[in-house]
Structure 1
C-alpha cells in the first residue's frame, strides 16, 4: 500500500512553483505559434476571402497577415517599459488582456447570419475590423514575446537557461500544431465556403489568454526585478515562495552580491541603438540574430506551408495534410533543441542549422524545377521533396527557433535586459512583416525559384553568425558582458579575434568560480 505522505510529496513536486512558472511561460509562448498555424488555412478559406472582399492571389492577403508583426514591434516597446517600471507580471497581464481583445475583433469581423458567400451588412468594413484586430493582437503577443523570455531567464540557472527557453518554444510549435489541426479538421468537416471553418480556429485561441490570466496571480515576480527596485523584502519573499526558507535565504545573499556588482547606470534606447552607445554592440548581435532568423525563410514556411507543398506538385488537400505532418515532426524534433542547446551551444546550432537549411533549399529548388519538366513522375518529386522539407523544418527548429530569443536575455546587464528583449521582438516583427508580405508575391512570380533565394539568405545568416555572434551559453550574465568589453578594447567584433577566440564555444569544464548572476534561481 502506498504511503500517503510520499504521494502528497510527489504531487507537491509536480505542482511546485518552479514547474508552474515553466508551464505558464511555455503556454504564453504558444500564442505566437498559434497565430501562424491559424492563418495558414484561414488565408485560403473562400468565405474569409469573400468577407474581406479580396482574392486568394491578392497581395492584401499578405498585408493582413503581416500587419500583425507591426503590432508586435510596437507592443514589445510598450511592454518592456511596463516590465521595467511596474514589474514583469503586470506587463504580462496587460499583454494577455490585449491579445484577447484583438482576437475577439478578428472573430467578429464581417460576422453575419446570411449565407457566407452573399453580401453582408458590413459594407466593406470587415477588412478594417480584421486589420485592427490583427494589430491589437500583435501588440499583446509582441509584448508577451518580449517579456516572457526575460521573466523565464531571470528565474533560470546559467546551465539551464537554454533548455528552459527551448522547452517553452517547443510549446510554441504545439500552439502552431494545435491551431492548424483545429483549422484543418473544421475545414474538412464544413468546407472552405463555411464562415465557421475560419472563425472557430480564431476564437479557439482565447483559451490561452483566458487560462493564463486566471492563473497569473499564483506566480511570483522575479527577485531580480525586486532587487533593481530596491525592494529587498519582496525579493526575499519571492525567493522563499520559489525555494523555501533555507534555500531562499542563501540565494538572496547571492543575488544581493550580483546586484551590488552591477552598474547602476540607467540604459536608454539611444545607448543601445546609436553607434558609440554603451550597449550598441550587444544590440547589433540581437538585431542581426532576428534578421538572420527571418532570412532562413521559416516564418514564410510556417504561414504558407500548404502552398509550398503545392509547388512540389501535391494537390491542395494532400498539401494540407502534409503540412500537418510537417508540424507534428517539427514539434517532435524540437526535443533535440532543448537537449542540445546547453551542451553544444547556441552559436554552433545556428551555424550548422544555416548550412543544413541552405542545402535543403538548394535541393527544393531542384525538385521544384523538375516539377516543370514533362515526363518526370510526380512521385519522383513528391517523396524526396517532402522528406527534404520535413528535414529542413526540423533543422530550423533545432538550430534557429529558440536560440535568437535566448541570446538577448544573456548578453545585457539587468538595467537593459527588458529593452534588449524588446529590440529583439521589434526586429523580429519588422523582419517577419517584410517576409510574410513578400512571400505570397514571391510564390506568384518566382514559383520554386523562391527556394533559391532562401538558400542564399541562409548562407549569409550562417556566415554572419560564425563571424560575429559570441557563444553566450554556460556563462553568467557578467561573463558574457566581458566579450563586449574586450571587443571594445581590441577594436574588433570578430569572435575569433576577441580574447583569442574564447567566445567561439561553450566554456570548458565546470567553472564554479564565476560570481554574480551565475547563481541559479530556478534549478533545472
Structure 2
C-alpha cells in the first residue's frame, strides 16, 4: 500500500537512507567548522585578506596595538559564520513548526549553497564575511532541525547510536577539511589553494537538496498538524520505518502514544518554553540550552578553528608541519568518536559526559603548564607535550561532548515545544561558539598560555552541573521522558526519577510494559486536559 514512496525504501533500508541524508548534512556541518582554519596561514589567503593575517611574518614590526587589531579582525571574520548560525537557529524557532522538518532542511541547505559561492569567489574581506554569515544562517537552520528530524524518525533503542554516528560524521567532516586544506596548500601561491576547499562544501549541499524531499517527514510533526489532519501520513511513515502494515498493533500503539501526547499538550508557543507545572517545560528548555552552551565553553573550537595557527604561532612549528599536525589532530578526533557510538547505549549518557569534562579540564591544565614553560625555554620538550595534549583534549571531547549535547536536547524536550526549544538550544551552541572563536585570537595575543586556564576552570565547573541536573535518557522513549519529568518533584529529583522509574522498552526495543495508560494518566493530571485525553482514549 505504501511501498512506492520514499524511493521505494522501507524498514532497515529506509532507516539507513534517513541516516545517510542526515549524515551528509552533518558532514557539511563539520567541514564548514574546520575548512577556514586550515587556510588562515596560507600566503595566497593572507595576500587576498591581509587585514586578518596574524602569522609572525605579518605581525613582525607591528606595534602591540596594531597586532591586537589584526587578531580582533581575524576573530570577527572567522566567527561571523557562527553569528550567522545563531541567527539561523533563532529563525528556526519561528519557522520550524510551520514549515516542517524536511522543508527547513531544504531551505537551510539552499542558503548554505549561496553562502559557499560568495565565500569561494571573494576578493575582499566584506564579501568573505557576508558569505560566512549567509552560510552560517543556513547551517543554523539545519543544525536546529536535523537532530530533531533524526530523533523523531528513530526507534528508541537506536536513537543514541544513530545520532552519535552522525556526530561522528561531523568530526569526519572536520578531518576531511583539514586534509583537503593540506592537499591544496601545495598549489600555493595560487588562490586555488583556498578557493577550492571552501567551494568543496557545495558537493554536500547539492546532495542534501537532491534527496531530502524524497525522505519521510517526522511522524510526530505530522501528528501535531491537527488542523490539517495528517495522522494518516504519520501512520504511513511509521509503517515505512518499521516495515509494518497499517493494522499492525505495535505501530498503532506507537501512533496512539504520540497522538495522546500531542492532543493533551497541543502545539506549544514560545511562551510555553518557559512554563512550569508538572510537565517542567522551563526546566527541560534550560537543560537543553545549558548543555549546548557548555559544549562550547569546553574550548573545543579554540582547537577546531585555530589548530594550524596554534601549532605555528603558539608552539613554534613550521607552516607545513602545523598543517600536517592539524590534519592528524582532526583525524584522531574522528577516530576517537567511534567508542562513543558503542558506549552511548551501554554505559549511558551521564558517565560519558562526566568522564569527558574531567579529562578536558586536566588536558587544558597541562596545556597551560606546558605552553607556559615553552615560552621561557629553548627545549622542544614542552612544545611536544602541548602538541600531544591538543590530541588528548580532542579525545575526551569526542568521547563525551561532541555528540551528546546534540542528542540530549531532542530526548529531554516535550513534543509540543521540541522544535522551538531545540532551535533555542542550538542558538546557545552558536552564540557561545561565536564568543569562543571571536576571543581566541585576541586572548592568545593578550594573555597567551593563560587562555587555557580559563577553559580548564570551565570544564571543571561543568562536572557537578551534569551530575546533579541531567537525568539519564539511555533506552528511554521520548514519551517516557515526559513521564519522568511529570513525576519528578523538582530539579534535583529528576536524576533520581530517571534512575528508578521502570522501563517500558528493553535494550533491543522490545516492549516490557504498556506505557499508554501511564501517559494518559500523567498528562491528564499534569495539564488538566481531561476532556481532551478522554477524547483521545475514546478514539
Report the TM-score, using the length of structure 1 for normalisation.
0.86
**C-alpha displacement of 1:357:** 0.6
What CA deviation, in whole Å up to 9, does each residue of 1:203-231 have, x standing for no partner? 11100011111122331112222222231
User: Cα gap change, 1:247/1:232 in structure 2, threshold over 3 Å: closer, same or farther?
Assistant: closer
Contact map agreement 1:88 1:151 (CA 8 A) in 2 = yes
Match of 2:106 among 76, 93, 98: 93
1:425 is aligned to 426
Q: Residues 59-74 of structure 1 correspond to what in structure 2 (within 5 A)?
A: 59-74=72-87
Whole-angstrom CA distance in 1 between matches of 2:326 and 2:404? 24
Q: Residues 297-308 of structure 1 correspond to what in structure 2 (within 5 A)?
A: 297-308=299-310
2:174 is aligned to 176
Whole-angstrom CA distance in 2 between matches of 1:516 and 1:196? 59
1:315 is aligned to 318
User: Cα gap change, 1:403/1:194 in structure 2, threshold over 3 Å: closer, same or farther?
Assistant: same
User: Cα gap change, 1:131/1:198 in structure 2, threshold over 3 Å: closer, same or farther?
Assistant: same
Question: Does residue 216 of the first structure (1) align with residue 228 of the second (2)?
Answer: no
1:240 is aligned to 239
Report the TM-score, using the length of structure 2 for normalisation.
0.84
Find the residue that maps to 1:54 and give its secondary structure. helix
Contact map agreement 2:10 2:241 (CA 8 A) in 1 = no
Whole-angstrom CA distance in 1 between matches of 2:288 and 2:298? 16
Q: Residues 17-166 of structure 1 correspond to what in structure 2 (within 5 A)?
A: 17-57=14-54, 58=70, 59-110=72-123, 126-166=124-164
Gaps of 5+ in 1: 1-10, 111-125, 520-524
**C-alpha displacement of 1:427:** 0.6
Q: Residues 280-299 of structure 1 correspond to what in structure 2 (within 5 A)?
A: 280-299=282-301
1:502 is aligned to 497
User: Cα gap change, 1:518/1:227 in structure 2, threshold over 3 Å: closer, same or farther?
Assistant: farther
Whole-angstrom CA distance in 1 between matches of 2:516 and 2:120? 48
**C-alpha displacement of 1:486:** 4.0
Whole-angstrom CA distance in 2 between matches of 1:79 and 1:216? 17
Find the residue that maps to 1:342 and give its secondary structure. coil
Whole-angstrom CA distance in 1 between matches of 2:352 and 2:297? 16
Find the residue that maps to 1:410 and give its secondary structure. helix
1:260 is aligned to 259
Find the residue that maps to 2:239 and give its secondary structure. helix
Moved over 6 A (4+): 11-15, 274-277, 505-509
Question: Does residue 199 of the first structure (1) align with residue 212 of the second (2)?
Answer: no
Mean Cα deviation higher: 360-369 or 42-51: 42-51
Mean Cα deviation higher: 89-98 or 218-227: 218-227
1:371 is aligned to 374
What CA deviation, in whole Å up to 9, does each residue of 1:224-244 have, x standing for no partner? 222222312212332333343
**C-alpha displacement of 1:19:** 0.8
Q: Residues 327-366 of structure 1 correspond to what in structure 2 (within 5 A)?
A: 327-366=330-369
Whole-angstrom CA distance in 2 between matches of 1:517 and 1:388? 52
Whole-angstrom CA distance in 2 between matches of 1:190 and 1:286? 44
Contact map agreement 2:244 2:251 (CA 8 A) in 1 = no
2:450 is aligned to 449
Find the residue that maps to 1:42 and give its secondary structure. coil
**C-alpha displacement of 1:13:** 9.2
User: Cα gap change, 1:414/1:194 in structure 2, threshold over 3 Å: closer, same or farther?
Assistant: same
**C-alpha displacement of 1:507:** 7.1
**C-alpha displacement of 1:35:** 1.1
Whole-angstrom CA distance in 1 between matches of 2:218 and 2:38? 39
User: Cα gap change, 1:42/1:250 in structure 2, threshold over 3 Å: closer, same or farther?
Assistant: farther
User: Cα gap change, 1:255/1:60 in structure 2, threshold over 3 Å: closer, same or farther?
Assistant: same
Find the residue that maps to 1:430 and give its secondary structure. helix
Question: Does residue 404 of the first structure (1) align with residue 399 of the second (2)?
Answer: no
User: Cα gap change, 1:244/1:480 in structure 2, threshold over 3 Å: closer, same or farther?
Assistant: closer
Mean Cα deviation higher: 252-261 or 130-139: 252-261
What CA deviation, in whole Å up to 9, does each residue of 1:77-117 have, x standing for no partner? 3235433123211111111111101111111211xxxxxxx
1:115 is aligned to none
**C-alpha displacement of 1:505:** 9.1
User: Cα gap change, 1:190/1:335 in structure 2, threshold over 3 Å: closer, same or farther?
Assistant: same
Count how many residue pairs are aligned between Structure 1 and Structure 2: 484
